[in-house]
Amino acid sequence: MRKKLFIIFQYCLPQHSLSRLVGLLADSERPWLKRQLIALFSRHFDINIAEAMPADYEKYKSFNAFFTRPLKPGARIIDPASNTITSPADGAISEIGYLDSDCLIQAKGQHYSLLALLGGDQELAQPFYNGAFATIYLSPKDYHRVHMPFAGQLEKTCYIPGKLFSVNQVTANHVPGLFSKNERLVCYFSTDHGPMVVILVGAMIVAGIETTWSGQVTPKSKTINSIDIKQNIALFKGQEMGRFKLGSTAIVLLPANKAKWNTSLMNGSAVMMGQTLGEFNS
């Protein structure tokens, strides 16, 4: 009953207005406010500030600056092998596996459509039918920058407006098509192994999604906004590509018969950015 009430409550909330309000508070540089927010958050989630740069709470000008803190060099080891696929983020595996035609697993008993996830673009979705996917949930305590699973050239981005349900396991289990309902940014890459997609999924009180090439994603209208990338944006394996201002989810999509995941990974497995998720088929 508690879980059902939690879901119903989210349907009733003004999701976008609440997220914008939280974003204003999180961006505030008022010393007393940012200190309070950082102190409360750090105590509640037991943040490992020692691995951050800087490793001093007072050095961050706002809560969002603290929340999207960079790591010290060497804090994460990125598998350098050319045939491996690494985790784009710290977090936990929500689901990992292979599509059944157009169908991805969201949670036990819950599935959703690849075509819906990609905003209805049949041409862009086609290479990923029967492909491989990995969904990684970033909890509030995690490092919140998203990195490349392997090297690629950015070809296109697509902002898809939507809801802002939270993306924890409760909502994954009870909100049908959660990841194809929520606001998200779809990033298409060409790589030496074929096309790849990395999707940054928004969520309740996520104050923003940023990319390293365009900054904060703030479309002027609430319609699907596709951009063909004209400039040369080539990102190497492990390079930062984006970040979440408050927690959410990253999804990696690969074409059919290209990759195999480590069989030790399953729902709930903790992963670190740069950790090997799988490898390409030879």
Helix axes 31-45, 15-27, angle to 10 degrees: 110
| 56 and 129, same domain (yes or no) | no
| 47 and 100, same domain (yes or no) | no
143 sits in which H/E element: none
Query: Domain for residue 76, yes or no?
Result: no
Q: pLDDT tens across 35-59, in order?
A: 999 999 998 988 999 999 999 999 9
Query: Domain for residue 72, yes or no?
Result: no
Beta bridge partners of 208: 245
| 128 and 263, same domain (yes or no) | yes
Largest CA distance in the chain: 56
Per the structure block, which two tokens stand in for 89?
A: 């983020």
Beta bridge partners of 240: 147
pLDDT at position 54 is 94
- CA nearest to 208, candidates 29, 91, 42, 65: 65
pLDDT at position 245 is 78
Per the structure block, which two tokens stand in for 54?
A: 């800087």
Query: Domain for residue 73, yes or no?
Result: no
Per the structure block, which two tokens stand in for 168?
A: 């924890």
- What pTM did the predictor assign? 0.91
Residue 248 φ/ψ region, left for φ over 0, alpha for ψ in the -120 to 50 degree band, beta for the rest:
beta
Q: pLDDT tens across 164-209, in order?
A: 777 777 777 778 888 999 999 999 999 999 999 999 998 766 657 8
| 115 and 162, same domain (yes or no) | yes
Query: Domain for residue 75, yes or no?
Result: no
| 58 and 150, same domain (yes or no) | no
Burial 5-29 (b: 16+ CB within 10 A, else e): eeeeebeeeebbeebeebbebbbbe
Which residue type, as a one-letter code, is found at position 155?
Answer: E
pLDDT at position 263 is 95
- Per the listing, tokens 């995690």 go with 142
Distances (CA, A) of 187 to 18, 73, 195, 200, 207: 26, 26, 11, 8, 19
Per the structure block, which two tokens stand in for 39?
A: 């102190």
pLDDT at position 11 is 65
| 133 and 10, same domain (yes or no) | no
pLDDT at position 114 is 97
| 46 and 160, same domain (yes or no) | no
Q: How many domains does the chain have?
A: 2
pLDDT at position 6 is 61
- Residue 98 CB-density burial (10 A; 0-12 exposed, 13-18 middle, 19+ buried): middle
pLDDT at position 9 is 57
- CA nearest to 197, candidates 125, 266, 247, 95: 125
Which residue positions in the chain have pLDDT lower than 70? Answer: 1, 3-19, 204-207, 218-221, 247
pLDDT at position 110 is 85
Which residue type, as a one-letter code, is found at position 6?
Answer: F
Burial 67-76 (b: 16+ CB within 10 A, else e): bbbeeeeebb
| 148 and 30, same domain (yes or no) | no
Q: Which domain holds residue 9?
A: 2-67
Query: Domain for residue 77, yes or no?
Result: no
* Residue 87: CB atoms within 10 Å: 26
| 37 and 158, same domain (yes or no) | no
| 39 and 128, same domain (yes or no) | no
Q: Which residues are catalytic?
A: 90, 147, 248
